[in-house]
Amino acid sequence: MQSVLSVEGLVMRTAAAIAYGIDKKATSVGEKNGIFEVKSTDGDTHLGGKDFDNRMVNHFVQEFKRKKKKDITGNPRALRRLRTSCEIAKRTLSSTAQTTIETDSLYEGVDFYSTITRARFEELNMDLFRKCMELVEKCLRDAKMDIM
């Protein structure tokens, strides 16, 4: 069996995989003499970044309702603006432990400011992370690579 990952070249390999559009699936890529070879791939067409965004949006919709006594679920504009803030927060949480959601005049002139930690984001999405890991593990097994 091959080893799963070597630290050397990992970033370059990941960048190459992303550059070639391998970003929606779990994909095992091997490289030899600069030639990349897809060893295995697996995916779930019903699992993606929007699922994580939706969890955060739902979390903040409930928080807004609790704090401001207003329900934004029937207002597409407010939901769209909150979703944009949540997408930014999700990306920020990939490199920091906490971030702030700031949406001026979210609904009926009411501003919304809140914070979310990476730990809370992970808690909201734990089942989705588990699904991702299952895909990765299956992909590695299919490629006959060790799972460490």
Task: Provide CB contacts within 8 A for 30, sequence distance 6+.
Answer: 2, 36, 37, 39, 143
Contact 99, 92 (CB under 8 A): yes
What pLDDT digit, counting tens, does each position of 22-60 carry?
455 556 566 667 766 666 565 666 666 788 899 999 999
Number of domains composing the chain: 1
CATH number at residue 102: 3.90.640.10
Given this model, what pLDDT does residue 45 score?
63
The span from the CA of 57 to the CA of 60, in Å, is: 5
Residue 101 lies in a domain: yes
The span from the CA of 31 to the CA of 33, in Å, is: 7
Residue 114 lies in a domain: yes
The span from the CA of 127 to the CA of 141, in Å, is: 21
pTM > 0.85: no
What pLDDT digit, counting tens, does each position of 102-130 carry?
999 999 999 999 999 999 999 998 988 88
Q: What is the CA radius of gyration of the chain?
A: 19
Residue 136 lies in a domain: no
Collapsed DSSP state (helix, strand, coil) of residue 117? strand
Residue, of 134 and 73, whose pLDDT is higher: 73
Domain encompassing residue 103 = 49-124
Residue 13 lies in a domain: no
